[in-house]
Chains A and B, each alone.
Chain A
Amino acid sequence: MTTMPQQLLRHPVLWLALAGLAFPLVASEFWVGTVAARVLIIGTMALSLTFLTSSAGLVSFAQAGVAGVAGYTLALLSPNITGVGVAVPWPLAVGAALGMGTLAGLLVGWVSVRSSGIYLLMITLAMSVSLFYLVSQNTEVFNGFDGINGLKPPELLGIDLRAPIPFYGMALAAAVLSAAAVLHLDRTPFGLQLHALRNAPRRVAALGFSTTLLRIAAFGIAGLIASVGGVLNTWFSGQMSPGAVDVHAAVNLLVVAVLGGIRHPLGAFLGAAAFVLLENYAASVIDRERFNLVIGAVFIVIVLFAKDGLIGLIQQLRAQIKPAWTGVCAKNGRKTV
């Protein structure tokens, strides 16, 4: 695997931000408030997974569940029409949601700390679905299968975040900040330790680092990012129900990450864009109900033929168009073992 040089790594976020800012100028309200906002939210949740995989080599099924923990915390602490939980001021509710989501991420990391590869995949899926059964069977706190309804984004400095453009702006800010944080982390000593953990865990241990702590910390950070996505998603859909943490949600997030390229952090957003566009256009090509058929088939093709997803395809394409240019990149690029 080749890592792109730092300069290029930084540019995509800048471009993402600029393109994101320009988008409302050219697109209709539907595209901004419904399609693009959704891409950014799903992308942020998937970013937590691509971060784990690209830096530490961990593939987790639990990120949708972790986002769900944040979503349920927010829902229970916000005014809702279901009449459960306790309403507190919204900054407190958001803070608690992010905190609980991070804790959930740490818990996932702690429980699965001795497992890797496909075992990790299985254990995180099992945990994710335990959460689903908990919230769908529990009528006392989580209102069972109906979930919690009537949630609304708050007002901030007189701006109603419910309106499409402000909501989109908020989602864009969250996505860009999360992506920039992940790319920055990649260059810190901690990021390097995670890379080392992925490539040679025993050597990392022999050098005196605690692989256990490193892994749990990585899961904690991924938990925080997933929680950001989870909070936005709860506001976006206006409700929180077991459907947001079921096995399809877990699978979809993995599909998004793999589609975009799970071994590059920004693959998450590319995958999310492809996923949401497919969802919108599947309706016109094939019956809307059959979206899963399309996404399943596309997913199989990507796994079989494009190991690094769409981002890998783009890199390959660029290498073919400008061989000399990428040659320079390879020289400057950080080598991975």
Chain B
Amino acid sequence: MRFYILLSLNALTVASLYFLVASGFSLIFGLLRTVNMAHGAFYLLGAYVGYDIASYTGSWLLGLVGAAVAVALVGLAMHLTLLRTLGGDELRQALVTIGFAIVVGDLLLAHYGGITYQFTPPEILYGTTPMPVIRGYPTIRLVVIGSALLVGLGLWLLIHRTKVGMLIRAGVDDRDILSAMGFNVQRVLLLVFALGAGLAGLAGVIGGSALSISPGEDARFLLSSLVVVIIGGMGSLAGAALGALLIGFAEQFGLAFIPNYATLLTFLLMVAVLAVRPQGLLGRG
């Protein structure tokens, strides 16, 4: 019993992390139709920048905010310089973000080297939180789950309860009409891109605190984002949550019971979804 609860909590932690990264990825795709292949690089960039700010100022929270802002700015810069010039050519946009990811990944490797970094989160996040049955669970992992819930709720409120959210939803449905009605669509696009990139940076600090920071994490989180949105459905917040949960559980239970073939479970899950609903479980056809 204790084993299964622990395993489920671990799966929930991984799922939360995947959701934090994939929600931004999905949001950007929903409105801009851009597959941001640099999303994993944004995650890693956020982790490193957050680490630097946190160790310089001694404040983990400042690192968290600073990383989100810095990565949002980098995302904006990438959008303005590389993506906008390509207009609506989705494939070339995806390719150019791959190039950007290669460059950023290499610059990070040059600056931070191949060693693994470990955050020192504030005292309260250290240690374990007492819990029934399983006695205790690492606090930082509960923070990961909590922040995913917070971000999910925040995004839901933003999209469904604010005027900006109304513009975003309208833009997802029909960008041209929204523009024809006199709204500044470009501004909404920029906002969404910055938000999505910032979320990746935020996730970098949270993920880097719960796990660790090292080169290669960018690829891992880009891929988890891809699989999450393929399964959950592109551009859907609920889809990202559902996809992240399915992948998190498939991955952790797979690793526990069939360690040599764990990945096949995720793969089969993806194949099954593609066979039944190519647009993803909650994606719109």
Binding site for B on A (CB under 8 A): 59, 111-112, 114-115, 117-119, 121-123, 125-127, 129-130, 133-134, 137-141, 246-248, 251, 254-255, 258, 289-290, 292-293, 295-297, 299-300, 303-304, 307
Q: Are A303 and B92 in contact (CB under 8 A)?
A: yes
Q: Which A residues are CB-close (under 8 A) to B264?
A: 130, 134
Complex CA–CA separation, A295 to B99 (angstroms): 8
Q: Are A127 and B267 in contact (CB under 8 A)?
A: yes
Q: Write the B78-104 contact mask toward A (1 if CB under 8 angstroms, else 0).
A: 000010011000111011101111110
Interface residues in B, total, Cβ within 8 A:
42
Given contacts A133-B262, A296-B103, 13 further A-B pairs with CB under 8 A are: A59-B91, A111-B271, A115-B278, A127-B270, A130-B264, A130-B270, A134-B267, A139-B260, A247-B219, A293-B102, A293-B107, A296-B101, A299-B99
- Among A137, A290, A292, A300, the residue within 8 A (CB) of B263 is A137
Decide if B50 is an interface residue (CB 8 Å cutoff). Answer: no
Q: Contacts A123-B274, A126-B230 known; A296 to B102 CB distance under 8 Å?
A: yes
Q: Are B266 and A130 in contact (CB under 8 A)?
A: yes
Q: Contacts A126-B226, A303-B99 known; A115 to B106 CB distance under 8 Å?
A: no
Q: Contacts A139-B260, A290-B110, A293-B107 known; A126 to B223 CB distance under 8 Å?
A: yes
Decide if B58 is an interface residue (CB 8 Å cutoff). Answer: no
Q: Which B residues are CB-close (under 8 A) to A307?
A: 92
Q: Are B219 and A246 in contact (CB under 8 A)?
A: yes
Closest-by-CB residue of B relative to A297 is B103
Q: Contacts A117-B90, A296-B102 known; A258 to B219 CB distance under 8 Å?
A: no
Q: Are A300 and B267 in contact (CB under 8 A)?
A: no
Complex CA–CA separation, A7 to B148 (angstroms): 60
Closest-by-CB residue of A relative to B278 is A114
Q: Which B residues are CB-close (under 8 A) to A138?
A: 260-261
Q: Which A residues are CB-close (under 8 A) to B109?
A: 292
Complex CA–CA separation, A248 to B227 (angstroms): 18
Q: Which A residues are CB-close (under 8 A) to B107?
A: 293
Complex CA–CA separation, A137 to B258 (angstroms): 11
Q: Which A residues are CB-close (under 8 A) to B96?
A: 300, 303-304
Decide if B63 is an interface residue (CB 8 Å cutoff). Answer: no
Q: Are B35 and A121 in contact (CB under 8 A)?
A: yes
Number of A-B contacts (CB under 8 A): 112
Complex CA–CA separation, A227 to B60 (angstroms): 49
Jot down 23 A-B pairs with beta carbons below 8 A, ordered by A: A59-B91, A111-B274, A112-B274, A114-B274, A118-B35, A119-B278, A122-B226, A122-B230, A125-B223, A130-B264, A130-B267, A133-B263, A134-B267, A139-B260, A140-B260, A246-B219, A247-B219, A251-B102, A254-B98, A293-B107, A299-B95, A299-B99, A304-B96
Complex CA–CA separation, A110 to B95 (angstroms): 24
Q: Contacts A114-B278, A300-B100, A304-B85 known; A122 to B35 CB distance under 8 Å?
A: yes
Q: Which B residues are CB-close (under 8 A) to A117?
A: 90-91
Q: Which B residues are CB-close (under 8 A) to A303?
A: 92, 95-96, 99
Complex CA–CA separation, A121 to B82 (angstroms): 19
Decide if B105 is an interface residue (CB 8 Å cutoff). Answer: yes
Complex CA–CA separation, A80 to B103 (angstroms): 37
Decide if B138 is an interface residue (CB 8 Å cutoff). Answer: no
Q: Are B99 and A121 in contact (CB under 8 A)?
A: no
Closest-by-CB residue of B relative to A129 is B223
Q: Which B residues are CB-close (under 8 A) to A304?
A: 82, 85-86, 96
Complex CA–CA separation, A123 to B92 (angstroms): 17
Closest-by-CB residue of B relative to A128 is B223
Q: Contacts A111-B274, A247-B219, A247-B223 known; A300 to B230 CB distance under 8 Å?
A: no
Complex CA–CA separation, A152 to B39 (angstroms): 40
Output the least CB separation between A122 and chain B (Å).
Answer: 5
Output the least CB separation between B232 and chain A (Å).
Answer: 13
Complex CA–CA separation, A121 to B94 (angstroms): 9
Q: Are A126 and B270 in contact (CB under 8 A)?
A: yes
